[in-house]
Structures are given as structure tokens and as C-alpha cells.
Chain A
């Protein structure tokens, strides 16, 4: 019997729970040489802003044990260019495209969401209130529950599309998750990269021009698992796990805790076919464990009871 990998994240239906993470998947058109993008559950596009953005000065990346730091600075082509140059191609691809977007102030988030609202190929929005690499906005919103509430509720009023909010691991994630939920978010993504720093001891300088970079990759996976654990029992909306997924079992960890889907990011850099490998591993796991549908394992571990035991 064919294993059923279909999941739903609130109103968003996915053919499987694997989404490509924003910032690691370009505009969804860069993978044709490696795999058919319509095989993945969805693609979270590179973070978009109202106007195009140049990004940070190099050096922008630094490798760390089992991970990497980046401070790209959300370089992007801007929403207008995206809608004109990229969206027409995306309309032909049968998967869920999620538009990640950000602003430097509340009004910019609202304007960006409005601009994306009528594009048919965009099935959901992912608000980035957690980028550690831009001078204003981003993580400044994400760590303060009051600001989270403000920016999410303002955007909520202006968009018909399902609204996901990508949370930062900085600050108190239970509080920010609650704020985002109360402000009308349809789903939460946990987590964005972890603010990090590395020093070149020879040059006596920062490894990354921006000084701070976001840590990603397998190194942060256990932290992301803990954060998903924290959030799933806190809010009644769907959670999407994100952080260091490189194999099927990494994604399954999130699902067992109750996440409805998970994202794959950094793994794409060192294995451009990682999504196909992971989807196969999901099927093999379900078969081996005697499940017909991936929905059967979602929330298999009772997080609330576990929490009481702590």
C-alpha cells in the first residue's frame, strides 16, 4: 500500500510535511538540476521586502562544527520584481509556495503582506520577525511579546492568506508564540537561526562583517527540538519545526512532538538532493513502524504529560 504523506498545516494542505526553508531555497527555481521541486511539500521563498535589498557586506558566512553562521542580510529582489520575474514561473509548479517577508517597521510588514496578497501562486505567508542579521526590524520584533502582538495583528488585518510566523529562539519562545497566536497567526515556525559570533584570532577581527550571524545546521537541531516541544503545548495552532534537519529521523522528531510539518534548510547546501532522501526515509520509517499515514505519528509523544513529569 502506498504510504500517505499528506499533512495539513491549518488551512494549508501539503503533499508531504517537508518544506524548503526560507533563505536556503532561493526563489524556488534553483533546484531543477537536482530534483523536481513539485516533489516537496512546499517551498518557503527567500525573505522578501517591499523594495529590493542589497544585503550585507562580505564576509557573510563562517563554518562552525556541524553548522554554519550566516549574515546575508536578507538580500532580495524586492516584491515587485518577484511578482514580475519569478511568480509567473512558480504558478506552473505544483507545490505550495510560501512567501517569507520582512520589514524594518510595522508599516513595512503590513505593506509587504498587502503586496503579496493577490498573487495566486503564494498559498501562505511566513512573517520573518526573527532575522538576527538586519539592523532594524527582524529579531527586534521577535523577542518582545508586545511587539510580536502588534506586528502580527496589524498584518493579520490586511491579508486573506494563511499567516505563519517564524519565531526566534532568542527571548522567551513560549511568550512570543502565545503573542503570535493571540494576534491571529495561523501557524508558527520554530525556529529561525540562533544568533552567534566567531572571531578570527589571527586577524583579531570578527569572522563575519556583520559581527553577528545566524547559526544553522545539524548543530542546532536538538535546540530546535526543545523549542518545538516548548511551543506545541503552549498554543493550539499548528507548528512547523525548523532547525538542522538533514535526515528523515530529524524531521520525524518534530512530528512526534506534534509539529505538523518541518523545514529543511542548511542541508541543501551540502546535499542538494537532501529533500528526496528525507522523503524516502519518511516512507521507509512509516513502513517499518507499520503506519499507513504520516498523520498517525504526529503528536505521538504526549508533550503535555511529559512536561508535568519534568
Chain B
């Protein structure tokens, strides 16, 4: 990780979302890793915000984030403009363990909301290794679906669910996931906590390994503040708090203790 001065090369704002392209001297990242980002807006908000990497081109020193307006910090980030300066610390955290996947594995990616960008980034890594994956995306409504065109380019097996039925299957994305419950070998998921919990429960007693990427409020992002604690099962019935920013954000779903 590094603390980097970025310049905004491009910022495409659409409604509550903004795709931000930054240029800076960063180190290569892996899917599910993130940066702590803050523009030069002084002390309000004070803390940088953890944002997952959507994509990057290391050679061109360009890195892309998809930010959703979720509060004061992300609201500032979605309003960044070309030429603005951003400080970023990263890449941070662990990553989706994709290194040992085989072409014969049945791989399911399940994403919702701002959980979709890191899964798209994972899909790119898999594609480069010649590994196929099934991508399931859920949203409240059609307008909130993310990266559909980009995902379609990387996989033929792309299924969508919207809660109001305005696009794809009507209902929750977990409903589509049910058809893969028995056959999946490995599941990667990122999105709202309710979705992650449902995904974890669905695959808990199945053969599939299930990895989820968690979100938590963070102050530092690099492991010193201990603010982003998640309770993890340990040996002999003991549990401990681990840091979403350092030991995570990706955890084996079977060790997470849900609130």
C-alpha cells in the first residue's frame, strides 16, 4: 500500500453514481481490494472513504472506481470533476481467492449495489485466466443496476433480478441463486449485508466454498484504528474481532458471526 496523490482524469456522474478515473503512481491491485479516498475538501468530512476498485490499467497508471452516494463522504466523491485532486491510500485488504480455481469449477458471483464493481473486477481476472463464471446481479429497480453491459461482454451467463420486476426476474437475487445451490463449487459475493447473510445461509450446508466481501465503517483503512471490527468464529467456541480492512474485506462465509 501507498499514500498517493491522484488526479481525476474523468468523472462520469449518473444520478447517484459516479465512475471516477484517477491517475497516480499506484501499485497493482487484486479484486476486492480497495482504497481510502478523500478529495481536498478539508475537514468535513474528515475521514477518507473506503471504495472498491472497479478496474485499473497499471501500465497507464489509471484506476477506476464506481462510487454511490451513500452519505456525506461519498456525496463529495460523486461530485469530483476532471482535474480535481484526490488522496488515496491503497490498495488495501485481502482479495477474493481466485488463484487456485480450475476451469472445471462452477463459479457463481453474486452482487448487489456497490458490491457489483469488485465482482466485475474479479470477473475480469477470471476471464484473463480463461475461467468462466456465472454472474448474478440484484437491484431494487432497473435504474440501479450497475455495469450490465460490461458484465455481458465478459460472460454469457449473466442473470439479473430486480425487486420491483422492472428488469429480469422479479424478486431478490438470492432467488436466482437457488438454482445453483447444489451444483456450485465456489461462490463469491459482495453487496448489502442482508444479501450476504442470505447467500451465506444458502450455501452453508452445501459443498460450495463461499467467500463474502464485507463492508464496515472505517477510519484509517490500514489496520491501526480497529474501528471496522467483524466478529469471527475461532477455536473452541471462542470468537474474536478481526479488521475488515486488514484480515478482510473477504472472509469465508462460514466463519462470520452475523449480528
What is A's interface to B at a CB cutoff of 8 Å? Answer: 23-26, 30, 33-34, 54-63, 65-68, 70, 72, 75, 217-218, 266, 268-273
Supply 10 further A-B pairs (C-beta < 8 A) apart from A23-B225, A54-B239, A270-B48. Answer: A30-B223, A30-B224, A34-B2, A62-B217, A68-B46, A68-B47, A75-B226, A266-B219, A272-B89, A273-B3
**Between-chain CB contacts (< 8 Å), 11 pairs:** A34-B2, A54-B239, A54-B241, A56-B229, A58-B259, A62-B217, A63-B219, A68-B46, A269-B219, A269-B220, A272-B222
Contact residues in B for A25 (Cβ distance below 8 Å):
224
Whether A59 and B2, one on each chain, are in contact in the complex, defined by CB atoms closer than 8 angstroms, is no
Whether B219 and A68, one on each chain, are in contact in the complex, defined by CB atoms closer than 8 angstroms, is yes
Contact residues in B for A272 (Cβ distance below 8 Å):
3, 89, 220, 222
Whether A268 and B220, one on each chain, are in contact in the complex, defined by CB atoms closer than 8 angstroms, is yes
Whether A34 and B241, one on each chain, are in contact in the complex, defined by CB atoms closer than 8 angstroms, is no
The chain B residue sitting closest to A207, CB to CB, is B217
- Report Cα–Cα, A217/B3, bound state, in Å: 20
Describe A's contact surface by its main secondary structure: loop
Question: Does B87 touch A at the CB level, under 8 Å?
Answer: yes
Q: Which of B38-72 contact A (CB under 8 A)?
A: 38, 43-48, 72
Whether A58 and B43, one on each chain, are in contact in the complex, defined by CB atoms closer than 8 angstroms, is no
Question: Does B240 touch A at the CB level, under 8 Å?
Answer: yes
The chain B residue sitting closest to A71, CB to CB, is B227
Contact residues in B for A55 (Cβ distance below 8 Å):
226, 229, 241
Whether A218 and B46, one on each chain, are in contact in the complex, defined by CB atoms closer than 8 angstroms, is yes
Question: Does B230 touch A at the CB level, under 8 Å?
Answer: yes
Whether B217 and A30, one on each chain, are in contact in the complex, defined by CB atoms closer than 8 angstroms, is no
Contact residues in A for B231 (Cβ distance below 8 Å):
57-58
Question: Does B1 touch A at the CB level, under 8 Å?
Answer: yes
Question: Does B206 touch A at the CB level, under 8 Å?
Answer: no
- Report Cα–Cα, A58/B230, bound state, in Å: 7
Interface residues on B, range: 20 to 34
- Report Cα–Cα, A268/B87, bound state, in Å: 13
**What number of residue pairs across chains A and B have CB atoms under 8 A from each other?**
95
Contact residues in A for B2 (Cβ distance below 8 Å):
33-34
Question: Does B156 touch A at the CB level, under 8 Å?
Answer: no
- Report Cα–Cα, A54/B87, bound state, in Å: 32
The chain B residue sitting closest to A64, CB to CB, is B46
Question: Does B216 touch A at the CB level, under 8 Å?
Answer: yes
Contact residues in A for B222 (Cβ distance below 8 Å):
30, 33, 272
Whether A270 and B47, one on each chain, are in contact in the complex, defined by CB atoms closer than 8 angstroms, is yes
Contact residues in A for B1 (Cβ distance below 8 Å):
33
Whether A66 and B226, one on each chain, are in contact in the complex, defined by CB atoms closer than 8 angstroms, is no
A-B pairs with the 6 shortest C-beta distances? A61-B227, A269-B220, A26-B224, A66-B43, A269-B219, A72-B226
Contact residues in A for B226 (Cβ distance below 8 Å):
55, 60, 72, 75
Whether A72 and B227, one on each chain, are in contact in the complex, defined by CB atoms closer than 8 angstroms, is yes
Whether B229 and A58, one on each chain, are in contact in the complex, defined by CB atoms closer than 8 angstroms, is yes
Contact residues in B for A54 (Cβ distance below 8 Å):
239-241
- Report Cα–Cα, A269/B222, bound state, in Å: 8
The chain B residue sitting closest to A27, CB to CB, is B224
- Report Cα–Cα, A30/B224, bound state, in Å: 7
Known: A55-B241, A72-B225. A63 touches B43 (CB 8 A): no
- Report Cα–Cα, A63/B222, bound state, in Å: 17
- Report Cα–Cα, A55/B38, bound state, in Å: 28
Whether B224 and A271, one on each chain, are in contact in the complex, defined by CB atoms closer than 8 angstroms, is no
Q: Which of B193-244 contact A (CB under 8 A)?
A: 216-220, 222-231, 239-241
- Report Cα–Cα, A58/B241, bound state, in Å: 9
- Report Cα–Cα, A33/B48, bound state, in Å: 18
The chain A residue sitting closest to B238, CB to CB, is A54
Contact residues in B for A33 (Cβ distance below 8 Å):
1-3, 222
